Amino acid sequence: MLRRLDLSPSGNDVFTAAHQPIPSGRAYGGELVAQALVAATSTVDADRRVHSLHGYFLRPVDVTRPTTWSVERVRDGRGFSARAVRGEQGGREAFRALLSFHLPRPGVQHAVAAPEGLADPEDLPTTEQALAGGPDLAGVRDARYWAHERGFDLRHDPAPVYTASDPRRTSRQAVWFRATEPLPDDPTAHRAALAYVCDYTMLEPVLRRHGAHWSDEHVVTASVDHAMWFHADGRLDEWNVLVQDSPAAGGGVGLGTASIFSRDGRLLATLAQQGVVLVGSGEDA
């Protein structure tokens, strides 16, 4: 993950980034979100912290080719800075984001509490263990990637829907996560890691609610837009939890929402993502 977030300067507010090879051949969405954040952060004074990001996935990104990230300095005010970021590959725009940074100052403060009764991550199976307890994985394209090649250790409650559906048809889930490698102490690295992890499971509550799973050949998913608000800094190489739900789905798209809490209960971020979700014929199950 850290290698993919090490962008190379290639001009005035222009950067180049490589991508992790993954089985689909299309760059992982969270990697794009995080690269856009890193590019924008590189153009902002160090005392300003990102507080919101809104992005659109416009085209698939080929993992075998680099992406160019161009940053527009939209505005620098006394307390806030706005940046627009374009990700292009082969001269075609693939991702666009608008980010806002601010200079933290004293003010009103409150946050929702983490839900009570969450399972401890140590008591939940790793992805590798969860997959081992399922069906034969010989024909599952992404099994090795899920188990060994992602930037985070993810542990689900209820059980993940990689290869089998959830018979309860609930849209609620909790996913504990931590980076699989130690991260630097710099808070900007942890904000980028927070952006990176965002896309792994954001549409999963929609699949869970409709009795579908990721390896079903009749399931089609694609992230369309993504929004996140950063509330507090945390360490992403320690356990944190995504508390997720899906308020609505229809017309071929589904909405996933999430709150991210640190293990000690601090609210780190709020997320929302809408994406294409087709199950079977594309009609509601």
pLDDT tens readout for residues 45-87: 999 999 999 999 999 999 999 999 999 999 999 999 999 999 9
pLDDT tens readout for residues 176-202: 999 999 999 999 999 999 999 999 999
Q: Minimal CA–CA distance to 238: which of 258, 261, 259?
A: 261
Residue 246 falls in the annotated catalytic set: no
Torsion region of 129: left, alpha or beta (phi above 0 gives left; psi -120 to 50 gives alpha): alpha
pLDDT tens readout for residues 123-177: 999 999 999 877 678 678 888 999 999 999 999 999 999 999 999 999 999 999 9
Q: Which residue is it, tokens 């990700």? A: 87
Local structure of residue 192 (DSSP, 8 states): H
Whether pTM > 0.85 for this model: the answer is yes
* Three-state secondary-structure class, residue 256: strand
Residue 20 falls in the annotated catalytic set: no
In this predicted structure, what is the pLDDT of residue 137? Answer: 81
Question: The tokens of 39 are what?
Answer: 């590019």
**Of these residues, 35, 259, 262, 273, which one is catalytic?**
273
CATH of range 121-285; options 3.40.718.10, 3.10.129.10, 3.40.50.360, 3.30.420.40? 3.10.129.10
Residue 185 falls in the annotated catalytic set: no
Q: Minimal CA–CA distance to 65: which of 94, 92, 89, 31?
A: 89
**Of these residues, 173, 199, 244, 246, which one is catalytic?**
199
The reply to whether 1-103 and 121-285 are identical in fold is yes
Class of domain 1-103: alpha beta
pLDDT tens readout for residues 114-134: 999 999 999 999 999 999 877
Q: Where are the domains of the chain?
A: 1-103, 121-285
**Of these residues, 81, 223, 246, 259, which one is catalytic?**
223
